Structure 1
Amino acid sequence: MNKDKPTVTLADLTPEQRKELALEAKESIKAEREKKKGNYIAFKELGAEFIERNIAALTELHSVNENVILNVFKDFSPTLDIRKELYGIKDQDSFTTTLPDGSQSITIGYNVTISFDGTEPAGITKIKEYLATLSGNNVNAKKLSASLNLLLKPNGKTGMLKPNVVLQLKALREEYNDEGFDDGIEIIEKAQIFTRTTQYVRGWNYVTAENGQRKKLTFNFSV
């Protein structure tokens, strides 16, 4: 920075100079807006070109994946029949088959969404009634009560409990050891609705690369 350079303020400028400076600033702002507008148009055009280059291959790949997955499910059917007979399997959303040496494994299954049938508020009430009894205890109990009350807060979008709430509550069942708390969890559990959505195939395969290195390749497809 040059300390010897005099500082010029607006007051030092003539009306014509101030007018010229304001005009330059206006033009600069206009140019910046035009540049941003041009970049936005270029961004949209590049996005459209990107889709055009790749959408056909991805659409074709989806069809291939769908056929492969459906064939894998169909091929697993005889194994599944024997498995059900041996282990008495009923409602299970995924099945894993792995070689004894762990070198290859395939899991087939269904992605599942969890919702509630509307009766869960009764269970929430029972749990909150128990939590209210903790409010007069020590600081840690109050903190735990506050945390659980936050956990029981419905999702802002769906108005329902978060799907993972039941598992978290069940993990605390022994710690609380209260009949009302247990009843609340049971009501919430029974209110759950499990809906199968997409099918998937996941797994891994250990392969030997050209350099002789053993490598674990994983895959995960869903339709």
Structure 2
Amino acid sequence: MRLVDLSHVIEDGMITYPGLPGPMIEDHLSFEQSTTVYAEGTEFAIGRIDMVGNTGTYLDTPAHRYRDGHDLSALPLERCANLPAVVLDVGTGPIGPDDLDTTAVRGAAVLLRTGWDGHWGTARYGDSVHPHLTGPGAAALVDGGAVLVGIDSVNIDDTTGGERPAHTTLLAAQIPVVEHLCELHRLPRTGASFTAVPPAIRGLATFSVRAFAAVP
């Protein structure tokens, strides 16, 4: 198997989504400070990170959209680990049912490849006009039996207004959403497996993942 990393690196101060704060990464205990705690010649570093859950490449559970939805602690591993991947090239416009081949998505992680990750780290990446899944497109993936849906864009939804039909439809169907993927061009259309597992945190709906694919 060849492993392909599909996650953005999390760095101090980086911006993932416009308007959300970047992470603060610092020492809780530095190597130098640890010399007063441990025996001579023994030293450790303990880091600290302060960030919102929507940082880097992350997974949304139903609790992100619904008050009674399950959170990260109740996310079944069967919904986010070792899933057969179906990569769909969908272009850079709105993604509707006619842009989706749903014939082979049942039981799969459907990864929407737009190429928008090429703008990562630039002002263009966070533009409100970006590739996104429409409500009817999301409904088509639900009807097709998708288990997880991911995208390499700044948001799976249209953000020019306040409605979020893709999140609303997918999360209502218990389908996790992974946003800010990258490097999807390195994957075949089918044949790879996809994993994006967040920590099991009670009371939190969204968190960063190390998303990757295993390609035979």
Tell whether the structures are fold-level matches, with TM greater than 0.5: no
TM-score band w.r.t. shorter chain: under 0.3
TM-score if structure 2 supplies the norm length? Answer: 0.20
- The structure with more helix, counted as a fraction of residues: 1
Higher-RCO chain (CA-CA 8 Å, sequence separation at least 6): 2
TM-score if structure 1 supplies the norm length? Answer: 0.20
